[in-house]
Amino acid sequence: AQSVAQPEDQVNVAEGNPLTVKCTYSVSGNPYLFWYVQYPNRGLQFLLKYITGDNLVKGSYGFEAEFNKSQTSFHLKKPSALVSDSALYFCAVRDITETSYDKVIFGPGTSLSVIP
Amino acid sequence: DTGVSQDPRHKITKRGQNVTFRCDPISEHNRLYWYRQTLGQGPEFLTYFQNEAQLEKSRLLSDRFSAERPKGSFSTLEIQRTEQGDSAMYLCASTSQRGVRGYTFGSGTRLTVV
């Protein structure tokens, strides 16, 4: 079965420093991977996706993610964190089994706090 | 196009009552998903529609839950005989047919069962 793990419940980083939010996945075939962000009392917003091609994917708000097949990871990164980046971040994987109809499975989330 | 709309934003109900939520997806999106999110957890898949057809239901969706998308546009999610364990944020998302695209989520309906 497909699954997503986010090993850190909480990540704290100083404003201006680089940030990384970790994600590992498990799928039976080739993964489609996603990152979403959720601000308080809001729905999830799509940040970026990896389908195929370049392992480094660029997304919204200056975020990028690196796909590493050998380590089954898809870590989210940003070179310089902003206080406004503080939010809940979810990694997700597409379930590509025949009957899944591209249902996406979400990880448990990582709370990012950027400290001024 | 104003995105995915969900109504109501908040619902407080007494245990045992029935509740119904509505989702209006982006008009050109033919795929619609319902997820449930509890505090501190990621969204959990509940059910999926392609046009008006409900193609998949999670085992999380007990017999008390029913969802419809009668004309392939808006969708409703009904919970009968609500229980305290139903308290959660109910999220609706939509996407288009072709390719693998990110979902567009609504802001959700927060249900509190007292």
Exposed e or buried b per residue across B64-76, where buried means at least 16 C-beta atoms within 10 angstroms of its C-beta: ebebebeeeebbe
Q: What pLDDT is recorded for position B44?
A: 94
Q: What pLDDT is recorded for position A100?
A: 58
Count of residues for chain B? Answer: 114
Tens digit of pLDDT for each residue in B49-59? 999 999 888 88
Q: Which residues 2-21 in chain B show a CB within 8 A of chain A?
A: 4, 6
Mutate to test the interface with A, among B105, B109, B110, B111 (most CBs of A within 10 A): B105
Q: What pLDDT is recorded for position A43?
A: 81
Among candidate residues A23, A25, A27, A2, the one with its CA nearest the CA of residue A11 = A23
Q: What pLDDT is recorded for position A51?
A: 86
pLDDT along chain A (116 residues), means of 10: 91 98 90 91 88 90 95 97 96 74 86 96
What is the rounded CA–CA span in Å between residue A37 and residue A112?
Answer: 10
Contact B22, B76 (CB under 8 A): yes
Q: What pLDDT is recorded for position B99?
A: 44
What is the rounded CA–CA span in Å between residue A22 and residue A77?
Answer: 9
Tens digit of pLDDT for each residue in B49-100? 999 999 888 888 889 999 999 988 999 999 999 999 999 999 999 988 654 5
Is B42's CB within 8 Å of A32's CB? no
Among candidate residues B32, B22, B17, the one with its CA nearest the CA of residue B86 = B17
Tokens coding A11: 């990540």
| Contact partners, residue B68, CB within 8 Å, separation at least 6 | B54, B75, B76, B78
Say whether pLDDT at B25 is over 50: yes
What is the rounded CA–CA span in Å between residue A9 and residue B31?
Answer: 31
- The rounded mean pLDDT for chain B is 91
Contacts of B41 in chain A (CB under 8 A): 108-109
DSSP letter string, B44-75: EEEEEEETTEEEEE-TT--TTEEEE-TTSS-E
Say yes or no: A84 contacts chain B, CB-CB below 8 A: no
